[in-house]
Amino acid sequence: MQSTRVLSMPDLAPLGQVALIQGRVGLEPLSNRHIEPLRAACAQDPDIWEIYPVSMLGEHFDPAAAFLVSQAGKPRFAIMDCETDTVVGMTRFINPDEHGAVEIGGTYIAPSVRGTGFNGAMKKLLLDHAFACGYRKVEFRVDTRNTRSIAAVMKLGAIQEGVLRKNRVTWTGYERDTAVFGLLREEWQG
């Protein structure tokens, strides 16, 4: 008779709606007070929205923002520049599961803080929090056209695990390919 090894389920703490702050970078639970400043941040780079699944520009902003705020209790964050007390983007945890895997995604960062180390510091806060809550794996799913995001995810130490071909239709009607990356707790060098 063959024996089977049974793995125990991880003991996971809720990711929750908590503020995470390190130096200049702050993550605040997304609320109504962030919506208008987020609108201004999203408008700083109108061209980037062509490769996002959902647009946060013009007439598309209000329905998208209403959906974000309606998801009360889900771990969604306004990204803050603590030096200027301004909203510079958004991010969230997606689909945390009982097996200890969660995705970080839905991230937008305004051009004013790109290339400053801001993204790496923000992702470090999220990764440290997820792993401290007991998650064993964090995933990232990136449109293969978004080379800047792919480079940033790889800089964190995440490993590309594959490409999901034409798995999502974006707001423009484009059938996108999605690169999937994973970072295990024991791989994180944070």
Summarised one tens digit per residue, pLDDT across range 5-32 is 655 666 788 887 789 999 999 999 998 9
Domain count, the chain: 1
Torsions phi, psi for 131 (to 5 deg):
-70, -35
> Does the pLDDT of residue 3 top 90, yes or no?
no
Q: Is there a domain that residue 3 lies in?
A: no
- How far is CA 76 from each of CA 87, 164, 175, 189, rounded to the nearest angstrom? 13, 25, 26, 24
- Do residues 94 and 37 lie in contact, with contact meaning Cβ atoms separated by under 8 Å? no
Q: Is there a domain that residue 142 lies in?
A: yes
Q: Is there a domain that residue 164 lies in?
A: yes
Tens of pLDDT along 123-171?
999 999 999 999 999 999 999 999 999 999 999 999 999 999 999 999 9
Q: Is there a domain that residue 54 lies in?
A: yes
Q: What is the DSSP string of 41-106?
A: HHTT-GGGGGGSSS--SHHHHHHHHHHHHHSTTS-EEEEEETTTTEEEEEEEEE---TTSEEEEEE
> Does the pLDDT of residue 4 top 90, yes or no?
no
Q: Is there a domain that residue 1 lies in?
A: no
Q: Is there a domain that residue 5 lies in?
A: no
Q: Is there a domain that residue 10 lies in?
A: no
| Residue 92 pLDDT | 93
Residue 98 domain boundaries = 20-187
* Side chain identity, residue 80: M
The pTM assigned to this predicted structure is 0.90
Residue 79: CATH number of its domain: 3.40.630.30
Tens of pLDDT along 34-93?
999 999 999 999 999 999 999 999 999 999 988 887 766 678 999 999 999 999 999 999
| Residue 147 pLDDT | 94
Distance between CA atoms of residues 46 and 36, nearest Å? 16
| Residue 5 pLDDT | 61
Tokens of 29: 């639970």
Q: Is there a domain that residue 110 lies in?
A: yes
